[in-house]
Amino acid sequence: MKSITYNYDYSKQKEFKFALFSDLHADAKHCQKDKLIKNLKWAYDNTEGILLNGDIYSCLLPKDFKRFTLASALAVRDDILDFIEDYVFDEVLKPFADKIIFIGMGNHESSVLKFHGTNPLNTLRRQIKDAGGKCVMGDYQNIIRFNFAHGENRRIRRYDIWSCHGMGAGAKRSRGALEWDLVYSRYDARLYWMGHNHMAETDQTGSYTYANRAGQIVTVPKKGIRTSAWEELISVREIDSPYDIKYGEERHGLPCAPAQFGLLTLSLDNEIGVKDNITLMDV
């Protein structure tokens, strides 16, 4: 787990927006690339930053006996990982590099690191830096903190996100309110963000209550968001087409959510604290 901090000045700007994406699978055969780029473009034009919470790549490599098939290969060449890394950046992410502020690990990146001894996110971080960006590379779990200062005033308002690519895949505990309750009770944050199982939801049922320094009882809401994947839900084939194995279709089945990203809006126009609004959207 990493603790990552971003600093902003709210003396003039009172509202800040951030786009939360996960599970791009941008090198996948069935990635909805045009739709993904359209949404990234909207996020680039309308937010302060883009955050990517794992599975940016599928990285289905020939030695991945669990998922790889020839039909899923992005290209037939020996330097396939180098090709995948360049393809994802050049074809999808490069125009938005200077707004990508966070890249986190997913299970697909972890698999490459475990079995192939290299981390594709290290390459992506260098590519973003070379293109003028300043992104931070996180872990599988992170505490992402936004600090808001008012000019020379030393008082800081903060907003914390617990980000985790996701837990449990298709397990029942990862598909409902129970999982939110578990993470709400374990980690201290305002927003809890996961992806991974290609579902999408927001949860606004969490809260915690405490006594502040003045002895006043305060209840603070806790919110959850799960962002979905950018692969097609179902691969539609012609009647005489051969059957190409699609691991996700067989392993996870349905339901899967339509592709969406999270829009986090933070407002600082009140006297105390940070007001938040979180929603799923697809432009």
**pLDDT, tens digit, 9 for 90 and up, residues 8-42:** 999 999 999 999 999 999 999 889 999 999 999 99
Closest CA to 106 of 92, 95, 121: 121
Burial of 152 (0-12, 13-18, 19+ CB in 10 A): exposed
Contact of 164 with 194, CB cutoff 8 Å = yes
Q: Which pLDDT belongs to residue 187?
A: 92
Per-residue pLDDT for 251 more than 70? no
Give per-residue pLDDT as tens, 151-198.
777 789 999 999 999 986 554 444 555 678 888 989 999 999 999 988
pTM: 0.91
Q: Which pLDDT belongs to residue 151?
A: 79
What b/e sequence results for 11-22 when a residue is b if at least 16 CB atoms lie within 10 Å of its CB, and e otherwise? eeeeebebbbbb
Q: Which pLDDT belongs to residue 83?
A: 94
- If you average pLDDT over every residue of the chain, what do you get? 89
Per-residue pLDDT for 122 more than 90? yes
Closest CA to 207 of 193, 195, 191: 191
User: For residues 204 and 225, what is the distance between their CA atoms, to the nearest angstrom?
Assistant: 9
User: For residues 161 and 194, what is the distance between their CA atoms, to the nearest angstrom?
Assistant: 10
Domain CATH for 220: 3.60.21.10
Over range 99-109, report the average pLDDT: 97
User: For residues 229 and 172, what is the distance between their CA atoms, to the nearest angstrom?
Assistant: 19
Q: Which pLDDT belongs to residue 253?
A: 53
Closest CA to 190 of 115, 251, 264, 135: 264
The beta strand positions in 139-216, using DSSP E, are: 141-150, 153-164, 191-194, 201-211
- Residue 73's identity, in one-letter code, is A
Number of structural domains in the chain: 1
Per-residue pLDDT for 118 more than 80? yes
User: For residues 8 and 146, what is the distance between their CA atoms, to the nearest angstrom?
Assistant: 7
User: For residues 266 and 274, what is the distance between their CA atoms, to the nearest angstrom?
Assistant: 6
DSSP string, 63-103: T-TTT--GGG-S--STTHHHHHHHHHIIIIIGGGGGGEEEE
% of the chain exceeding 70 in pLDDT: 91
Helix H or strand E segment including 45: helix 33-46
Of these ranges, 129-143, 194-208, 221-235, the one predicted with the greatest mean pLDDT is 129-143
DSSP three-state, residue 174: helix
Q: Sorting pLDDT into bands at 50, 70 and 90, what band is 106?
A: very high
Over range 251-278, report the average pLDDT: 85
More confident residue, 244 or 183: 183
Which range of residues forms the domain containing residue 107?
A: 2-281
